[in-house]
Each structure stands twice: as structure tokens, then as C-alpha cells.
Amino acid sequence: MLNSPPRAAARRKTDAVVRSGAVLAAAGGMVTAFGLPAAQAAPIAPVVSVPAAKKVAPAALVSPAALGPVKASYGVIGVKAVAKPKPKPKPVVTAAVSALTASRTAPAAASRTTTTRSSAPATTNAPAPSNPEPTVPANGGVLSIAAALSGIPYVYGGSTPAGFDCSGFTMYIFAKVGVSLPRTAAAQQAAATPVSNPQPGDLVFFGYPAYHMGIYAGNGMMYDSPRTGLSSGLRAIWSSSVTYGRP
């Protein structure tokens, strides 16, 4: 009986599918399956091992049923247990180590204590004045006091050991022996009793009214505070135009 055209076409299509989906047997016993179209091919099993007795010749066309029962091998995932590490042993402090540590820390603690104590501000006395008053003899006369006040720089208008002018020098010295004198040279000249035979301790006046003065020390010498740039002290009476007075 002749096949009808539809059936002949279907048969040819089936033969083509069978040929394209044939399984090739490899020499090592492994079988590779080519995928069939999703609508006609059966599910393909995972890679399988073919028993030695079932091996077929290379390039032979076989059907899956001819291979017989096969065993799928998926492998085994290995897990290796790891033991938890043991904690490190704590160091044992011996008596010798403790003694050594104590001997090292003791000096450091003592040093810190010493530093703390030494850093405390030391009690200091009040600073001495920049121009202390010279020591004046308790029972001395005006010449002794004048000698003790020598070396003090001249200061215009000065009347203390910080600095003297001429009349401030004589006024300060006589105040030490209880005699009060006016402030200026001319005023002291007017208040003094004139003398022609001066004695040590009398006043010496330059000019009239006086523009300068000092304390007569005898033998043509006097104590005075002369001018800017010089200091009080003993010096010669440089002029013959002088007068003397006794407070």
C-alpha cells in the first residue's frame, strides 16, 4: 500500500529527528546526547557511566533503551571538620619576676614624687628695692652721713637715695641729724647764719642767691651732688666766690 503524502512527510521528518538525536558511543564508554527539539525529545539523563560489557563501537547508532539500566553519579561534597584552637596559656608570674617589676617601678614612682615636690613654687622673699637706702651711722655727724650717701647719681629735683640734686642732698642729710632745711639752695642760704670761719659741717653756697651748695668738709673740700652725669661724693671747692652758713 502506498503511503499518503501527509504520512510520508511525517515519516521523513521523524527519521531526520532520529538521525539528529542519535547517541554516539565514545571509546571511553561515555555517551553524548545531542539535544532534540523541545516538542519531541525526551528528557536527557545526566552523564552516566556505561558498564564495560555494554560498550559499543565508536560512531555506532544506538537507542537509549539499548544501553540498559544506568546509575547516575552526582558526586559527594566533602566537609572537613576543623577543631577549635585551644586558648594560649596565661603566663605564670613568678616571685622573682614580681620582685624585679617592683624594683623597677619603685624608683620611677619616687622620681615622680620628687619632681612633683620640686615643681612646687618655692617661697621667696620680696625683691629688694632697686635703690636701697645706704646705711647711715646711727650716731654719726653730717659728714659721716654724707660719706655714706656718696655715689648716688644726680637727679634734678631729687631728694632721696634714688637720686639727689644739690639742695635735696643737704636737706636729706641734715634731716637725719634732726635739722630741718628749706628745699632750694637759695632758701637754705637765706635761712642759714653766715660765718667767716667755716667749720666742717657748715654749708657752702655758690653765688648769691645761691645756684649751688654743699657741705664743708675742711681743707678746701666739700660733699655735694654736682650735676647731671655725676654722683654725690667728696670733691674740692672749685671757686673762691663762695659763702658759708651754719644751719
Instruction: Kindly report the CATH number assigned to the domain that includes residue 202.
Output: 3.90.1720.10
Least confident among 69-73, 192-196, 206-210: 69-73
- Extract the C-alpha cell encoding 111: 622620681
Q: Which of 15, 165, 202, 224 is catalytic?
A: 224
The string of pLDDT tens digits covering residues 38-66 is 444 445 445 445 455 454 454 444 555 55
Give percent above pLDDT 70 in the chain: 44
Alpha-carbon gap, residue 239 to 203, rounded angstroms: 15
- Domain assignment of residue 49, yes or no: yes
pLDDT-derived band of residue 1, with 50, 70 and 90 as boundaries? Answer: very low
- Domain assignment of residue 205, yes or no: yes
The whole domain housing 49 covers: 20-65
- The answer to whether the beta carbons of residues 152 and 232 sit under 8 Å apart is yes
Q: Is 202 a catalytic residue?
A: no
Over 90: is that where the pLDDT of 158 sits?
Answer: yes
Q: Which of 15, 165, 166, 202 is catalytic?
A: 166
DSSP summary character for residue 154: B
The distance between the two most distant Cα atoms of the chain, rounded to a whole number of Å, is 191
- Extract the C-alpha cell encoding 123: 617661697
The pLDDT value given to residue 235: 97
Alpha-carbon gap, residue 188 to 220, rounded angstroms: 21
* Higher-confidence position of 147 and 101: 147
Alpha-carbon gap, residue 240 to 217, rounded angstroms: 16
The string of pLDDT tens digits covering residues 14-39 is 565 445 444 443 444 444 434 444 44
- Domain assignment of residue 74, yes or no: no
Please tell me whether residues 61 and 149 are part of one structural domain. Answer: no
- The answer to whether the beta carbons of residues 224 and 168 sit under 8 Å apart is no
Alpha-carbon gap, residue 201 to 223, rounded angstroms: 10
DSSP summary character for residue 29: S
- Domain assignment of residue 75, yes or no: no
Over 80: is that where the pLDDT of 204 sits?
Answer: yes
The pLDDT value given to residue 138: 52
Rg of the chain's alpha carbons, rounded to an integer?
67
Please tell me whether residues 150 and 239 are part of one structural domain. Answer: yes
The pLDDT value given to residue 63: 54
- Domain assignment of residue 136, yes or no: no
Alpha-carbon gap, residue 5 to 71, rounded angstroms: 43
Total structural domains in the chain? Answer: 2
* Higher-confidence position of 96 and 213: 213
Please tell me whether residues 146 and 238 are part of one structural domain. Answer: yes
Least confident among 28-32, 54-58, 77-81, 104-108: 28-32
Which residues on neighbouring strands pair with residue 205, listed in sequence order? 213, 243
229 Ramachandran zone, left/alpha/beta (phi>0; psi -120 to 50): left
- Domain assignment of residue 196, yes or no: yes
- Domain assignment of residue 220, yes or no: yes
- Domain assignment of residue 236, yes or no: yes
The pLDDT value given to residue 222: 98
Instruction: Write the CA distances from 62 to 5, 168, 209, integer angstroms.
Output: 29, 146, 159
Compute the mean pLDDT over every residue in the chain, rounded to the nearest whole number.
72
Would you call 191 helix, strand, or coil by DSSP?
helix
The pLDDT value given to residue 134: 62
